[in-house]
Structure 1
Amino acid sequence: MKVLLSIGHGFSARALVPLLDGFRIIGTTRSEEKAVALRAEGIEAVVWPGTDLAPLIGEATHILTSVAPGVEGDPVLAAYEAALRAAPAEWVGYLSTTGVYGDRGGDWVDEGSALLPATKRGKARVTAEAGWTALGLPLHIFRLAGIYGPGRGPFAKVRKGTARRIIKEGQVFSRTHVEDIAQVVAASIARPAPGTAYNVCDDDPAPPQDVIAYAAELLGVPVPPAIPIEEAEMTPMARSFYAESKKVRNDRIKDELGVVLKYPDYRVGLRALLEGEG
C-alpha cells in the first residue's frame, strides 16, 4: 500500500487528499484538537511535536512537508535528518514559496532564475530548500505564490470593512488557489521527476489593490479607498510583503506535468469562492 506521511497537514495538504486514490494518509498537526478534526476526515492524525516520526518516515512511500522554517531553521530537518537520509520513500515533496526569488522590480522569474531572497523568511526558505536537497532524497520542490481558497480570501475583510487598498507603484503579486496547488502536487506524485522545482501560481500576476477592488465589486459593496503605502499603517510582516514585486512564470507545471489550472486568474477564483458560499 502507498503511504503518504504529510508533515504539517494543513490547508494545502488537506486539499490534496481527495485527489489521492489508494493511499494510507498519515498527517501531523500541532494539537490534539486539530488531530481529532483530521481523524474525522479519515486521516491518521498524530500530534507533532510530541510523537516520534522516525518509524513513520521509515514506512512512508511518499513524504510531503508543509512545515515552514523558523528562526532556528527547518524543524523537521533538525529533528529527523538521519531518519530522512535513510528513508525508503519513492517521492518527497517540499512546499516552499516564490519568496525565494526576492524582489525583481516587477519583472518575470521562472524556476531557472537565481534565488535572491530579500526577506528573512525568503532566506530561511532558500536554506531549507538546500537542506532538503542535500539529503539525497527523490525531492520535488513546490514554490507557492500567495495562497487563497475556501475560508481564506479577501471577502471576510471586505465584508467587515477592514480591507485596505494599499498602493505601491508597480507592485504586482502572483497568487494561487489551493485546489491548483493540490492538483500540481498530485500530478507530480503521478509523474515523479526528482530534483525538479515547480512554480505554483496562476496566469495573472496582479496588483493587490485590484484583487480587493474586484472582491468588493462581487459583493456589491463600495470599493475601499486607495491608501499610498507611505501613509499606510502596517505591521512589519505586512510591510515585508510589499518589499518584493515580481511576476512568476508557471510554464513548467503545464508543460511537464500536464496541469490545466482550474483557476487561471483571481477573477475566476474569487467568483468560484463566492458561488461556493451559496
Structure 2
Amino acid sequence: MSERVLMAGCGDLGQRVAKRLLARGDEVYALRRHPPMQDGSSVRWLSADLTRPETMPALPGRITQLIYLPTPDVREEQAYRAVFVDALRHLLSALHGQPLKRIVFVSSSAVYGEHGDDWVDEDTPPAPLGFNGKVLLEAEHLLSTQSIPSSALRLAGLYGPGRLQLIERLRAGLLCAPRAPVHWSNRIHVDDAAAAIVHLLQLHEPQALYLGVDDTPLPLHELYGDLADRIGAPAVPDGPAPASIGSKKLSNARLRDSGFRLQWPDARLGYAHLLNMR
C-alpha cells in the first residue's frame, strides 16, 4: 500500500529520498522555505519556514509518514535549536490527529565525542563535542517522548555529486591529517544515505536508533592520501585533526542486520567513481 509522506526540509539529500519514494508509488509532500518553481518531479511542494509556525500552510490530510531533515541557514546554536527542536515540536503539534505511523529523523554522528581507535555503535553513550551534536541529541530525546514510532538515523559525513569540497581543498593543498595518533574518519555516500532513510520507513519493527555510515572507517591520512594520489594533488602533510570532530570507528552493524545494503561500502571507491564521472 502506498504512503502519503511529508518531508520537512528537502534539499539535495531530501530530493534523492523523494525520488525513491515516488518510484515505490508513494505520494510525497515537501516543506521548504523556497520550493523550486518547476523541477519536473511529482513532489507536491509546500512553502513554509519551519522556524516560523505562522508561515505553515494547511497540511494535507492522511499523512502516514514523516521525514524530518531540514538544514539550518547558519551554523549557530540558536539556529540549530530553532530548526531541530522548536520547529520539530511545532510540526508535531500541527500533525496532531493525522494517521501518522512512522517518523524518521535525520540526525548526525556529531552526537558522539572522542573515542580514539574504539568502535562506536548505537549503544555507545553520546558525548557531543559541539553545539550541533548537543542540539540534535535534544531533538532525538524530544522524538523519543512521542507516542508515534520513530527512528533517528545518525549520519556520518556525506559525500557525493555536488559534495566535492574535500577534493578542491586537497587540490589547493589546504588539508593536513595526523598520522600518530591516527584520526579515524567515517563517511557515507549521499545516495546510500537516501536509500537508508527509505529503508527505515519500510521496516516492520524498526529500532529507535541507527548509525548511517559505510562499511569502512578510514584513518584520515589514508583517505586524504588516496584521494590526493587520484587527482595528482600535493602530498598531505602531517598536522592536527579537524576541530570538534572526535576520532572513532562507527559501526553500521545494526543497519546491515536490518537488511540494508550499501552501494558504496568504501568511500575510496565512491570518490573514485565520482572523479571518473567528471
Tell me the TM-score normalized by structure 2. 0.84
Query: Shift of the alpha carbon at 1:144?
Result: 0.3
Q: Which residue of 1 aligns with 2:90?
A: 79
Q: Which residue of 1 aligns with 2:227?
A: 215
Matches within 5 A, 1:78-157: 78-153=89-164, 154-157=166-169
Q: Spell out, residue by residue over 1:150-177, the C-alpha distance to the aligned partner (whole angstroms, 9 max, x if none).
A: 1103223334x15412326321121111
How many residues were matched structurally?
A: 261
Query: Shift of the alpha carbon at 1:18?
Result: 2.9
What SS class does the counterpart of residue 37 from structure 2 fall into? Answer: helix
1:61 correspondence with 2:73: no
Q: Which residue of 2 aligns with 1:202?
A: 214
Runs of 4+ in 1 over 4 A off after TM superposition: none
Partner of residue 248 from structure 1, selected from 228, 247, 250: 250
1:26 correspondence with 2:26: no
Check the 8 A contact 2:221/2:236 in 1, yes or no: no
Query: Shift of the alpha carbon at 1:250?
Result: 0.4
Q: Which residue of 1 aligns with 2:261?
A: 260
Change beyond 3 A, Cα 1:170–1:86: farther
1:10 correspondence with 2:6: no
Partner of residue 178 from structure 1, selected from 177, 190, 196: 190
Check the 8 A contact 1:163/1:212 in 2, yes or no: no
Q: Give 5+ residue unaligned stretches, structure 1.
A: 231-237
Q: Spell out, residue by residue over 1:172-230, the C-alpha distance to the aligned partner (whole angstroms, 9 max, x if none).
A: 121111111122122222214355211110111113332222222222x1334414229
Q: State percent identity of aligned pairs.
A: 26
Q: Spell out, residue by residue over 1:225-261, the C-alpha distance to the aligned partner (whole angstroms, 9 max, x if none).
A: 414229xxxxxxx6222xx1111110111111x1121
Q: Which residue of 2 aligns with 1:235?
A: none
Query: Shift of the alpha carbon at 1:87?
Result: 3.6
What SS class does the counterpart of residue 27 from structure 1 fall into? Answer: strand
Check the 8 A contact 1:84/1:135 in 2, yes or no: no
Change beyond 3 A, Cα 1:2–1:225: closer
